[in-house]
Each structure stands twice: as C-alpha cells, then as structure tokens.
C-alpha cells in the first residue's frame, strides 16, 4: 500500500520536503496542509514587494498549481492542523468550512514555521499596527502606505530594516526603533553595524537604538509612538520584533521542544515522536561552529531541513548535521552579509577571538565605479580557524559570503585562507581579495 506522508505547512520547508519525498517515493500519497490561502511563497520577498522592486505579491508564489499536480501533491489550503495523535498516527485538520477531518499518516512532517511576535507594548492592537509575516499582513501594509505619510518600524533586524527601506522607497518618513544597542544585532558587531546605521540615516531614515517603544499612541488608530518620553508621529507602525516558532501541535502531542524554543530534532530531522519530522522555522538544528542547538530562521536553512525531512519521511536516507546560518540582504543599495559567529557572539559562547578588518574596493582601484567593501573576520586563535565574517559593501557581497561560508564550514585556518588562490579582473575585483587581507590582519595579532 502506498506510503502516506502528511506535511503541515506549505512554506519553503514544507514544499522542499514534499518535492524531496516525491523524488524518493513516486507512489506515496503526499498531502500538504496550509492555513494560508496561497501555497508556498517566498516570505523573504515580501519587503521587496512593498518597496516595489517586485511587482506583486502573486509573484512570490513559488510554484504554479501545475507543479502540485505534476508532483501529485494534495494541497489543502486554508486548513489548520489542530491536533496530532501520534499513537494512532493521525493528525486532525480543520478546513475553511469548519469541518474537522482526520488524516492518517505513515510519516508526518511538521513545517508550521513561525508567527511574528507581538511585543507586549501598550496600544499594540490599535488600527494601523501591522505585523510582517504573511501576504495578507503585507496587503494590509500596502493599503495603508497609500494613505500614510510616516511610519515607525519596531525592530532593526533583517525584516525590520528591509521594511523600513521599502517604506522609504515609497516616500514615507520612516523611524526605526531598536531596543538593543545597534541595528542588525544578531548579524553584526557594533563596529560593522555603524556602517549600516549611517547608510540608513544618510538615506533619510531616522534610527533610534538602545531604546524601547513605551507605548503606541492614538485613539482607535495609531498617531505615533512614545520612545523614552518623547513622541514620534506616525500614521502606521510595523512590528518587526522577531518571530515565535509554531510548536504547539508537537508540544501538545508530547514532543520535545529545545532550548531555542523550536522543536528538537535529530540529524535526520526526526522529532522525539516516532514517525514525525520537523523542518523550517519551527525546527531546531545545530550550529556547525558551537555544536549547540540553533534556529537561524532563514529560508536557506528551511529548504535544507525540508529536503532532509522529506527524504527520510519517504524512506530514504539524508542527514543534516548542522548549519552555519549565513545570511545576506540589500538595503537601499547596500549589501550586508554574514557567516558564522560575530565577535560578540563568539565571546558569549566562550571563545577568545582575534579579529581583522579591512576596507577595500570591489574593482581594481583604477577601474571607475568601484564601491567600498568592508570585511571583518573573526578567528579562533587556538585552532587558528576562521569562525566568522561580516561583509558590507555596494556590490559583490553575496558570493563573498558564500566563499567565506565554505571556508568556515570546512574548518580552514587563517593560514590556509591567507594562501587561497582567488581570481581577478579589473572590472570585477582587485588583485588581493579583501577577505584574505582581513584574515592577514587577524594573523598579525596572533
């Protein structure tokens, strides 16, 4: 009899899992369940639709309906998984019409993702306050942009700054408020964050760091926020204060939740419940450098976890022993990327890192139009290994992050990096690669 695979969540992880499962088992019955009215779409693309870089939310939908037919996937839209009964291998789901159905499974993949956090700020439920997680959240933002002149974004992480940049592109007056000491606090050290901070303010975005929002003010709808005693006027407020993993389905069924708040998984993405796998923003993995539980909440991690879960759920063999959590974005023409640990994070976990940093050009110095690029590297002095890098520049950042990412993952020492053979041509790079130069700066301190 055909294997029954049920996947809860049809985001990047869920669909990646479905496609991989299908490749392993051509006969399996695969059902994808999602609460949303759309099948898989790219959440990472949402801010870029708001900024009008991408024409429409519909463009973010990853596959046409044909894909689901071709892959023989049953797609249940606007359907919520309400209870998991592991002993009978059943998951109960409730459709848009309120009818509850029982789906039995041989393998279940929980790819329920995360929901945007609603911070406990007074006034958070006023009209004009928006989360940024789903297409319908962003359709709400889109509608309000048309009738707004100013916005406050709460949270200066990746999503917060991407939305702030988008709103600026749409000619709103934008203020970003970040509780922690600097922008992109998980991704960058303070010295590197300063470059981003200045880039944002140079482009007319007000940035307040080290302060929380005391209250969202206004009658029924937002008129501003109060920060450290002073009021900032705003017609809309965006909450970009992180996400909470959706783990209740598994928790209630007795599954283990890890220290990160995500579902604990093994190297095959199996949960503590037999026959149940987890993948995506709801699932924990391991940080390659620290060996500790890790939940980087990235699309790239989600698709990798999804693939491994899908293969195993279909009876194949695949493992994920860890991820690095490399990330990149582009904010108002500035590219910002990171791989491995920041200096601060490295210290927090107990390393005594040595750092090196350099500012260079993205093209030969004599080739017009080259842009500044700054590279900071973090080296662990006992092993000599490169354990982190942050790169900020006007172009050519992404693939540099990938290069660094490979170096870190494969345990290259600073000495090895100093001898790598890079390529060069005047319009696209200079003789000496700045990643290598930054590592040499660190080596001089060792």
Residue numbers at the binding site for a second copy (CB under 8 A)? 12, 42, 44-45, 48, 53-55, 59-60, 288, 298-301, 303-304, 320, 323-330, 335, 337, 339, 364, 366-368, 396-403, 405-407, 409-410, 412, 416, 419-429, 431-433
Choose between 87 and 431: whose C-beta lies nearer to a second copy. 431
Within 125-254, strands assigned E span 129-131, 150-154, 173-178, 206-209, 213-218, 222-227, 230-233, 236-239, 243-245
Within 10 A of 188 (CB to CB), how many other CB atoms are there? 24
Choose between 24 and 257: whose C-beta lies nearer to a second copy. 24
| Dihedral of the alpha carbons of 60, 65, 68, 74, in degrees to the nearest 10 | 110
Q: Take residue 441 and report the two structure tokens written for it.
A: 């700066």
User: Minimal distance in Å, beta carbon 78 to a second copy?
Assistant: 23
User: Minimal distance in Å, beta carbon 395 to a second copy?
Assistant: 9
Choose between 320 and 354: whose C-beta lies nearer to a second copy. 320
Q: Take residue 294 and report the two structure tokens written for it.
A: 């890790």
The closest of 378, 405, 384 to 323, measured between CA atoms, is 405
User: Minimal distance in Å, beta carbon 112 to a second copy?
Assistant: 19
Choose between 136 and 432: whose C-beta lies nearer to a second copy. 432
Choose between 49 and 81: whose C-beta lies nearer to a second copy. 49
Phi, psi (degrees; rounded to nearest 5) at 301: -65, -45
Distance CA 224, CA 201 (A): 20
User: Minimal distance in Å, beta carbon 344 to a second copy?
Assistant: 20
44 among known catalytic residues: yes
Choose between 129 and 375: whose C-beta lies nearer to a second copy. 375
End-to-end CA distance of the chain: 62
Residue where the block lists tokens 């976890």: 305
Distance CA 213, CA 228 (A): 7
Sheet with 206-209, strands from edge to edge, namely 129-131, 236-239, 150-154, 173-178, 206-209
Give the 3-state secondary structure percentages of the chain, helix then strand then coil, rounded to 5: 30, 30, 40
Selecting among 44, 262, 282, 423, the annotated active-site residue is 44
User: Minimal distance in Å, beta carbon 443 to a second copy?
Assistant: 13
- Catalytic machinery residues: 44
């Amino acid at each position: 009899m055909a294997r029954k695979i049920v996947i809860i969540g049809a985001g990047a992880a869920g669909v990646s899992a479905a496609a991989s499962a299908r490749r392993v088992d051509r006969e399996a019955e695969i059902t994808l369940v999602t609460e949303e009215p759309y099948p898989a779409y790219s959440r990472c693309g949402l801010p870029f639709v708001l900024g009008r870089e991408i024409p429409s939310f519909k463009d973010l939908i990853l596959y046409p309906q044909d894909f689901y037919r071709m892959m023989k996937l049953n797609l249940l839209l606007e359907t919520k998984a309400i209870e998991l009964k592991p002993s009978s291998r059943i998951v109960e789901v409730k459709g848009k019409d309120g009818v509850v159905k029982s789906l039995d499974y041989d393998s279940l993949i929980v790819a329920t993702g995360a929901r945007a956090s609603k911070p406990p700020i007074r006034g958070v439920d006023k009209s004009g306050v928006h989360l940024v997680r789903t297409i319908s959240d962003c359709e709400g933002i889109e509608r309000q942009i048309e009738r707004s002149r100013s916005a406050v974004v709460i949270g200066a992480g990746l999503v917060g700054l991407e939305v702030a940049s988008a709103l600026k592109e749409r000619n709103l007056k934008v203020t970003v408020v970040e509780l922690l000491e600097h922008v992109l606090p998980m991704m960058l050290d303070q010295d590197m964050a300063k470059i981003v901070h200045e880039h944002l303010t140079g482009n007319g975005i007000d940035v307040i760091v080290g302060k929380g929002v005391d209250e969202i003010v206004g009658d029924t709808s937002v008129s501003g926020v109060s920060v450290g005693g002073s009021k900032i006027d705003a017609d809309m407020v965006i909450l970009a204060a992180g996400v909470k993993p959706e783990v209740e389905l598994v928790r209630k069924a007795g599954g283990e939740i890890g220290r990160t708040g995500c579902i604990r998984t093994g190297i095959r993405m199996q949960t503590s419940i037999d026959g149940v796998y987890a993948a995506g923003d709801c699932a924990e993995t391991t940080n390659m450098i620290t060996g500790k539980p890790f939940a980087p909440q990235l699309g790239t991690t989600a698709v990798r976890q999804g693939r491994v879960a899908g293969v195993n759920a279909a009876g194949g063999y695949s493992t994920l022993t860890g991820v690095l959590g490399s990330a990149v974005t582009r904010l108002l023409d500035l590219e910002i990327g990171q791989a491995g640990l920041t200096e601060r994070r490295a210290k927090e976990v107990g390393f005594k890192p040595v750092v090196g940093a350099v500012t260079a050009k993205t093209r030969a110095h004599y080739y017009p139009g080259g842009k500044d690029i700054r590279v900071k590297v973090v080296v662990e002095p006992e092993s000599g290994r490169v354990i982190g890098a942050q790169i900020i520049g006007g172009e050519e950042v992404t693939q540099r992050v990938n290069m660094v990412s490979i170096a870190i993952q494969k345990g290259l020492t600073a000495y090895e990096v100093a001898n790598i053979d890079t390529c060069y041509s005047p319009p696209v790079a200079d003789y000496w690669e700045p990643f290598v130069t930054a590592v040499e700066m660190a080596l001089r301190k060792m």
